[in-house]
Chains A and B, each alone.
Chain A
Amino acid sequence: QKEVEQDPGPLSVPEGAIVSLNCTYSNSAFQYFMWYRQYSRKGPELLMYTYSSGNKEDGRFTAQVDKSSKYISLFIRDSQPSDSATYLCAMKGVTGGGNKLTFGTGTQLKVEL
């Protein structure tokens, strides 16, 4: 079983929809959580970074962490065609070998006009 599970999609939504992307994890040592966006043939781009359980908002993006359930989410409001990309969740521990990021496999999102 992988440490981080993410539905690969593809997920297709109409423009303006609210998108929900999710990851579950099994390693209790994970304390830092990130969401990256990756356009085709490009490097991942950091979207959101959070440490605490709860919500963190940045523009149209909201990251949600529930450590008790080992579940994280990314919500995209008023989705745009330019949001079409692969979204990767990533997480890391606190100390020692925890410097490495462990990624989900990514969810491919397509926002259609």
Chain B
Amino acid sequence: DSGVTQTPKHLITATGQRVTLRCSPRSGDLSVYWYQQSLDQGLQFLIQYYNGEERAKGNILERFSAQQFPDLHSELNLSSLELGDSALYFCASSADPQGDEQFFGPGTRLTVL
């Protein structure tokens, strides 16, 4: 158990809908990262927050947004969902902003029908 928690474990929704994924980092970690894992693209970095502020951005679509709250938990919002958004979404956390050692949560499996 990495200490990173994610909810929900599974999410099934329809195209065009909006969902929110939640992540709580390990105790004491200030950085949160979001990744998308699909069969064809592998594990892709989406975005990083450090102590409430956006720190780095990857291949995140404009339909997706994230934030980190004062208690350090983070939410990833996915809107106008498409079939291709079906994937595993992982959250990771690290103690430092450089992210040399990142610890991953169990993931949220999103299915868009």
Contact = CB atoms under 8 A, between A and B. Distances in A.
A46 B90 contact: no
B56 A99 contact: yes
B105 interface: yes
Interface residues of B, number: 26
B106 A42 contact: yes
A44 interface: yes
Given A88-B43, A100-B45, A105-B42, A45 B104 contact: yes
Contact of A100 (B2, B48, B90, B101): B48
Interface residues of A, number: 22
A29 to B, nearest CB: 14
A44 B48 contact: no
B90 A99 contact: no
Contacts of B98: 99
Interface of A: 32, 34, 36, 41-46, 49, 88, 90, 92, 97, 99-106
Given A43-B107, A92-B99, A99-B56, 10 more contacts: A41-B109, A43-B105, A44-B90, A46-B102, A49-B100, A100-B99, A101-B33, A101-B102, A104-B42, A106-B42
